[in-house]
Amino acid sequence: MADDLQSSAIVWFRDDLRLADHPALTAGARATTLTCLYILDEDPAARALGSASRWWLANALRALDADLRTLGQRLVLRRGKARDVVCSVAREVQATQVYWNRRYDAAGMATDDAIAAALKALGVRGGSFPGNCLIEPGRLVTKDGGPLRVFTPFWNRVQSLGAPRLPMPPPKELPPPRDIRSETLEDWKLEPTAPDWAGGLRATWTPGEKAARDRLADFLDDIHDYADARDRPGKPATSRLSPHLRFGEIAPVAVFHAARFAADHGAPSRDIEKFLSELGWREFSYHLLHHYPALATENLQKRFDAFPWLNDDAALKTWQRGKTGYPIVDAGMRELWHTGWMHNRVRMVVASFLVKHLLIDWRRGEQWFWDTLVDADPANNAASWQWVAGSGADAAPFFRIFNPILQGEKFDPAGSYVRRWVPEIAALPDRFIHKPWLASPRELAAAGIALGKTYPKPIVDHDVARKRALEAFAAIRT
């Protein structure tokens, strides 16, 4: 491009910490010099990352910097209010253009609009690209121009548009960097030190684009039985791509086309279609976030504003620590604490337990997940919590209350998941593993359990809690 011949571009990385299928980087690759920038946004309007996400981010940035260096580039790190930082870096490198891939949270979009205007005033071209969804959030609307609120018609419409565009390859070469100051990851203190609680995260995850690609390939090589086994927390049946997708280490279009390729080469289509529909739920969450910017803070169904939450702090803490006395709930909460991730089925069970058995506002659960999940996602987390609480679009009705005992028995029948995460009850026979309080004193003693001492008694009785939840719901039922 003639006008790019003597150009100084900035590519601003955000939720897209990758080189492949990065439209903004592809555009920046045509400039004469290039500044690859990541900003730790300290704008109070932006939601601060949770602790587990900060750990992931540090490692993802390290991996991205290493990948950029193989192309003679490097990542420039700056901290501050994003609007100020972008403009000051643009001045430092005498930028002619600044490129980024779009994001869809309200605060992020407001920042991007303000930056685009400020750059224009500086005479710098700003360019934004779609890159983090299969379909641009907001593109699909009802006949009246309103949001689609039900998943199945949404996903049918997405599919009727045909396959998304093919992923772009990573650039083979990049323009040289400008010599400007970068902060260091050590300056940012994203990783915990005193205490260093991230041992479980390090043992479980490898952040970065290469790890994301490898994980996808391994998963698709062995996808058989995903459609059924994905609900079994004791089986490693799901892709575990969620933190990689959250931080954009792999693009959804790359995942989509790799899955379709696998189906064309012998992978069972039932499993592939189910997997793609899960990606569809991610799209749906972003679509909801676009239409409801306050998704993480406001009930989509306004009648829930009057819900009589109990919000008992002690009960919240018991749930957070995995000490409710319901093994499947406790196993999930401990998996989360230890690894920064929790199996989807168990996320539904623990969320339902918090909201319905303990009558704690879903926003407090959302906040805990935001802090502890490595995949804490502005769209998926909020949409899923509202789905479980019954306050969302296309939500599970509030009166459908998961029974944590039956959920455990159905989806973890041999108790392997519970035994892994709640070792103090591991020696119980299968028939009591999801309801230790029904074991006789002799059986408990044989398993080395002193109920109420080595493992808690249930924090609430299921039937009593269920009745209480239905009464609370009756107060807002219209």
Interacting residues with ligand FAD (CB under 6 A): 230, 238-242, 245-246, 278-279, 281-282, 285, 344, 347-348, 351, 369, 373, 375-377, 380-381, 384-385, 388
- Exactly one of 100, 319, 362, 370 is catalytic; which is it? 362
CB atoms within 10 A of CB 478: 4
In whole angstroms, the minimum distance from the beta carbon of 275 to ligand FAD comes to: 6
Closer Cβ to ligand FAD, 238 or 407, answer by number: 238
**Number of residues that this document lists for the chain:** 478
Beta strands in 328-382 (DSSP E): none
In whole angstroms, the minimum distance from the beta carbon of 172 to ligand FAD comes to: 29
In whole angstroms, the minimum distance from the beta carbon of 279 to ligand FAD comes to: 5
Looking up tokens 């490693």 gives 236
How far apart CA 200 and CA 156 sit, in angstroms, is 39
Closer Cβ to ligand FAD, 4 or 394, answer by number: 394
How far apart CA 308 and CA 386 sit, in angstroms, is 16
Closer Cβ to ligand FAD, 185 or 288, answer by number: 288
How far apart CA 415 and CA 409 sit, in angstroms, is 8
DSSP 8-state class, residue 371 = H
- Exactly one of 309, 403, 409, 424 is catalytic; which is it? 309
In whole angstroms, the minimum distance from the beta carbon of 419 to ligand FAD comes to: 21
CB-based contacts of 68, cutoff 8 Å, min separation 6: 19, 36, 74, 75, 174
In whole angstroms, the minimum distance from the beta carbon of 327 to ligand FAD comes to: 19
Closer Cβ to ligand FAD, 95 or 259, answer by number: 259
How far apart CA 59 and CA 157 sit, in angstroms, is 37
How far apart CA 274 and CA 272 sit, in angstroms, is 5
* DSSP labels, 125-182: EEEEE--SSSS-TTS---TTS-----HHHHHHHHHHT-SPPPPPPPPS--PPBP----
Identify whether 311 is a catalytic site residue: no
Looking up tokens 């990542």 gives 75
* DSSP labels, 169-226: PPPS--PPBP------HHHHT-S--TT--THHHHHH---SHHHHHHHHHHHHHT-TTH
How far apart CA 77 and CA 12 sit, in angstroms, is 10
Closer Cβ to ligand FAD, 132 or 380, answer by number: 380
284, 154 Cβ separation under 8 angstroms: yes
DSSP 8-state class, residue 247 = T
Strand partners, 99: 11, 127
Identify whether 278 is a catalytic site residue: yes
In whole angstroms, the minimum distance from the beta carbon of 282 to ligand FAD comes to: 4
Angle at 211 between CA 209 and CA 212, to 5 degrees: 60
Closer Cβ to ligand FAD, 126 or 233, answer by number: 233
What Rg value do the Cα atoms of the chain yield, rounded?
A: 24
Please say whether the dihedral angle defined by the alpha carbons of residues 394, 243, 342 and 411, taken in this order, is positive or negative: positive
In whole angstroms, the minimum distance from the beta carbon of 389 to ligand FAD comes to: 9
Closer Cβ to ligand FAD, 185 or 220, answer by number: 220
Closer Cβ to ligand FAD, 102 or 343, answer by number: 343
Closer Cβ to ligand FAD, 252 or 327, answer by number: 252
Identify whether 281 is a catalytic site residue: yes
DSSP 8-state class, residue 397 = P
Strand partners, 33: 8
- Exactly one of 56, 385, 387, 421 is catalytic; which is it? 385
Single-letter residue type at 400:
R
In whole angstroms, the minimum distance from the beta carbon of 457 to ligand FAD comes to: 26
- Exactly one of 136, 183, 273, 278 is catalytic; which is it? 278
In whole angstroms, the minimum distance from the beta carbon of 287 to ligand FAD comes to: 11
Active site residues: 278, 281, 309, 344, 362, 385
